[in-house]
Amino acid sequence: MKKLLEVENLNTWFHTSKGDLKAVRGVSFDLEYGESLGLVGESGCGKTTCALSIARLLPKEGRITGGKILLEGVDLAAMTEEEIRKKRWKDVSIVFQGAMNALNPVMKVGDQISEAIILHDKTSKEEAKRRTAEILELVEISAKRAENYPHEFSGGMKQRAMIAMALACNPKIVIGDEPTTALDVMVQAQILNLLNKIRKEYRMGFILITHDLSVLGEICDKIAVMYAGKIVEMGTVEDIFERTAHPYTKKLISCFPNIHGEKVIPEGIPGSPPNMLAIRPGCSFAPRCTEKQPCCEQSEPESRQIGAGHYAACHFVRGGEGR
Amino acid sequence: MNYREFRYRRLKEFLHAVRNNKMALVGSLTLLFFLLVAIFGPIFVPFSTLEFGEVEDMLLPPGGEHLLGTDDMGRDVLANLISGARISLLVGVLATAISMVIGCAIGIVSGYFGGRIDQLLMRFTDFFLVIPWLPLMMVLAAVLGTNIWNIILVIGITSWPGSARVVRSQTLSVKERQFVERTVSIGASSGHIMLRHILPNVFPLVFANTVLVAAIAITSETTLSFLGLGDPSQASWGMMLHYAFESGAASAGAYWYYLPPGFCVVAVVLAFTLMGYAFDEILNPKLKNR
């Protein structure tokens, strides 16, 4: 059986007036049916660009310059704009970050969900309405509310409506681009649990983009840590949290306070992410790394397998156990 | 709260705002008056507006059987005035509709696609914007022939550039909102996005602008008719002014012949303008003083 999604050596560049910005540099990962992958990293590390590349929704300055995005063996990266428009939302759908703004204020919520169904499935209006009601119930919104306008919804409801919209055409992969950032913690947990439940029920691939490592631990099967456009470490939740290999991942985890341990103020990671317009040779994390050696500045570490399904890109990790 | 209640509440809010806005109130009441006159007035008028009267009826001063006197052909001025209201409002509404359709289409397409299409359409708009519209209208009216439908068409196709610019600038801001990106991502075509998502969001501004365009359309019709390019078979206010001028009514002291149509034009145009500004104030969130 084919894999649901295989991303091979994906490169995405932005053309800017100051030169090409290499936002994603050789990212590879894969995803099985019903599996969920978490993408973490600091702001600007290429998480969202990576996701937008998969959904082929890059802004016009952005371009996939290399690599393959194989969805059930079909390369999405090679499709023309018109081909992708027809497949969009049926293959890959996105739950956007700010649901508040992602709904048209002058259209009924139900109509906006039916819109997606009608655009792709060529069904009648009544059929689309019926499906919309079903999906709304699935995300725990009463079907009656389909007749409401977005401003009559609370923030959490809008976000759930966005999830409903993402599920409208039974996509194979759902991407959550920080779907809960704008919500309070209680609602956050609700929404993530809901997404997780639906993903398992319908065996959809799920890619969750977030800054919040603790969320990933709860929801995801696999985690990929990104830094400066590359995946520096990837593995199962246990690999990442228990057998942390890459210095950046260690730093990232240390930034989250542990509720069981003693009171400590997270130290943070000194320095700032590199300028993506002028990437220096060597490991891009080297200037901020506390375990830096002379060779780190010269050659860029390859991603190496250090355990079953556990990869890290650092000169100083060895197979099996992390350093 | 369901959809209908929501609409009802919005309407009530709007009417409340209109009632509290003096400009809107004066404008809409004046317009309502002329609208009623245009619709029901001709039923009560016992005189024909086109047939010439008897010689002894020529240029009678106001009073008696003819409330506002008669013109140099012996026709009743009041009767002419009332049927003129029909023509003026008809021209105003239809010409505005044409102008809005062209303006919206060009403005939204230009703003949404941007780039070369935007450049091309906006230069085309600039071209229409800087053309002296009166000579253009005169030439078009003369070439197409003087009947009321041509006049409406001519006014419609010369008064859209302003609307196109307003709609374009609003489109530029609406298209950057996230719901447009989301609609792209669900696989909607450009046409679908422009019609279903951008148009409803720019519509309030279009509406305020429409009312102002209507005022311009009525002035234009009066101007064209006064210059002799109007439809001679329709008794519009412009045509009355034209005949009054030609027959030398002003120097003959027949004030009842040229003052009423002049007053009516000013009143209707003023009513539209007042409403336009007032609606802009009510519907444009930037001008709201709260």
The tens digit of pLDDT for each residue in A173-202 reads 999 888 877 777 787 888 888 888 888 888
Task: Give the whole-angstrom CA distance, residue A10 versus residue A32.
Answer: 18
In a domain, B210, yes or no: yes
In a domain, B65, yes or no: no
Task: Give the whole-angstrom CA distance, residue B169 versus residue B174.
Answer: 9
In a domain, B50, yes or no: no
Phi-psi category of residue B58: left, alpha or beta, with phi > 0 → left and psi -120 to 50 → alpha: beta
| pLDDT tens sequence across A237-282 | 888 888 888 888 888 888 877 767 677 777 777 777 778 787 778 8
Per-residue pLDDT at B55: 63
Q: Is the pLDDT of residue B120 over 90?
A: yes
Q: Which of B177, B186, B200 sits opposite A119 (nearest CB)?
A: B186
Mean of all residue pLDDT scores within chain B: 81
Identify the residue among B116, B177, B182, B183 best suited for mutation to test binding to A, counting A beta carbons within 10 A and taking the highest.
B182
Per-residue pLDDT at A47: 86
Q: Is the pLDDT of residue A322 over 50?
A: no
Q: Do residues A169 and A90 make contact, with C-beta atoms less than 8 angstroms apart?
A: yes
What would the mean pLDDT of B230-240 be, rounded to a whole number?
80
Number of domains chain B is built from: 1
| Segments forming the whole domain that contains residue B264 | 18-35+74-287
Q: Is the pLDDT of residue B190 over 80?
A: yes
In CATH, what class is A5-312?
A: alpha beta
pTM of the predicted protein model: 0.74
Residues of A in contact with B178 (CB under 8 A): 96, 98, 101-102
Q: Is the pLDDT of residue B110 over 90?
A: yes
Task: Give the whole-angstrom CA distance, residue A108 versus residue A146.
Answer: 7
The confidence band for B122, taking pLDDT boundaries of 50, 70 and 90, is: very high
Closest alpha carbon within chain A to B7: A149
Per-residue pLDDT at B113: 92
Per-residue pLDDT at B131: 83
Looking at residue B185, which CATH number applies to its domain?
1.10.3720.10
| pLDDT tens sequence across B48-85 | 666 666 666 666 666 666 666 666 666 777 878 888 88
What would the mean pLDDT of B8-30 be, rounded to a whole number?
80
What would the mean pLDDT of A70-91 be, rounded to a whole number?
84
CA distance A172 to chain B (A): 14
In a domain, B10, yes or no: no
Q: Is the pLDDT of residue B286 over 80?
A: no
A106 to B200: CB separation less than 8 angstroms, yes or no: yes
Q: Give the type of residue at A136.
A: L
Q: Is the pLDDT of residue B149 over 70?
A: yes
Closest listed residue to residue A23, CA positions, set A277, A312, A286? A277
Task: Give the whole-angstrom CA distance, residue B200 versus residue A37.
Answer: 39
What would the mean pLDDT of B198-227 be, rounded to a whole number?
85
Q: Which of A89, A103, A105 sits opposite B185 (nearest CB)?
A: A89
Residues of B in contact with A152 (CB under 8 A): 1, 6
Judged by DSSP in three states, A55 sits in coil
Q: Do residues A311 and A240 make contact, with C-beta atoms less than 8 angstroms apart?
A: no
Residues of A in contact with B197 (CB under 8 A): 104, 107
Domain definitions of chain A by residue range:
5-312
Per-residue pLDDT at B290: 44
In a domain, B140, yes or no: yes
In a domain, B56, yes or no: no
Q: Do residues A50 and A12 make contact, with C-beta atoms less than 8 angstroms apart?
A: yes
> Is A149 an 8 Å CB contact of chain B?
yes
**Across-strand partners of A222?**
A37, A236
